[in-house]
Structure 1
């Protein structure tokens, strides 16, 4: 069925995509790659150990989308620190955790976005589109990338909870956010059907 992932015999999933859908997903994945940025060893590609042993950043990103994709590990929105000393301790632990984990998180998100782009580039769509077939491993990469894309778009749309999502359905067609809203909702449908297609 067009636009919905279906399970493949032996694992994985397939979806029929038209050329416009292929173009939209690819464009969004490229934008996500640009937002995440290159790895820390990009300046010295001849030294593979540079990226492996490079420390990550210790401060949260300034961009709200990146802040959502790479959240603080030691912050709890439900519980505020009880004292300035406790707040400082949380910041120190969070900075330390970020320094040792963010590079790996970024690499994983880059790999997922690249897997999406490569899978789409390997298609040979005709005027009606093409059927994308994913292995179980590629399906997991697609799930990660679709999740990241929805998070990024959701932050740009300032979606904080389900009530915000409900309001988006009622936006008039002339609202400049409408194309982004449609992409957000469509990606959510893709993600949901991919999850169901991979269930045993």
Structure 2
């Protein structure tokens, strides 16, 4: 199981991680938490019921990574499809959809990233500096969500828009300053792929 997830009895998954790998994933998950933010009411809202029914934002985030994590539901106003009137209609529908869904999406992404941090914090390294991460089925779903969000975030920073961009990343010289981020992107992709495989019937 080193470097990739394997299925465990009961529908879970397990992977061996060394101290450096644990540190990388944890650091990225914490950065994701900081990027997504605590939500409109902060960490401890005074009235949880009011928070539940609070309207979300209607404008897309300015940060490209956040925009990738919370995209327009009906396409970007800049999409060269249809008339200006149709573009305005798409914008209005996306704004309304965002108002009712983004708070919940942010909460879910925070829960997934927190689940990753907590799972890693609970690991104990053996004498060789390796720990086995064992995930229950519900934990697997959180990890899948967080790994996907991390890859979307890193991919956006790397300007990855299609498979051809990914192919180019494999050929980057070692001295390219993007190389560490590229290696993290590809490694997380491998983890995500093997975790998906373990959950297939």
TM-score, normalised relative to structure 2: 0.95
What SS does structure 2 have at the residue aligned with 1:13? strand
- Give the structure 1 partner of residue 171 of structure 2: 170
- Aligned pairs for 1:171-190 within 5 A: 171-190=172-191
- Give the structure 2 partner of residue 106 of structure 1: 106
Q: Tell me, yes or no, if the aligned pair for 1:40 and 1:50 is still in contact at 8 Å.
A: no
Give, in angstroms, the shift of residue 50 of structure 1.
3.4
Give, in angstroms, the shift of residue 44 of structure 1.
5.8
Q: Assess, with a 3 A threshold, how the Cα gap between structure 1 residues 189 and 103 changes in structure 2: closer, same or farther.
A: same
Give, in angstroms, the shift of residue 43 of structure 1.
7.2
- Give the structure 2 partner of residue 12 of structure 1: 12
Measure, in 2, the Cα distance between the counterparts of 1:82 and 1:131: 52
Q: Encode CA deviations 1:127-148: one digit per residue, 9 max, x unaligned.
A: 4210000000000110010000
RMSD, aligned α-carbons: 1.7
What SS does structure 2 have at the residue aligned with 1:2? coil
Measure, in 2, the Cα distance between the counterparts of 1:32 and 1:44: 19
Question: Is there any run of 5+ residues in structure 2 with no aligned partner, and where?
Answer: none
- Aligned pairs for 1:1-200 within 5 A: 1-42=1-42, 45-75=45-75, 80-126=80-126, 127-200=128-201
Give, in angstroms, the shift of residue 76 of structure 1.
6.6
Q: Tell me, yes or no, if the aligned pair for 1:124 and 1:130 is still in contact at 8 Å.
A: yes
Report how many residues are paired.
200
Larger displacement relative to structure 2 (58-67 or 42-51): 42-51
Measure, in 1, the Cα distance between the counterparts of 2:29 and 2:43: 23
Measure, in 1, the Cα distance between the counterparts of 2:87 and 2:147: 34
Give, in angstroms, the shift of residue 10 of structure 1.
1.4
Measure, in 2, the Cα distance between the counterparts of 1:111 and 1:10: 23
TM-score, normalised relative to structure 1: 0.95
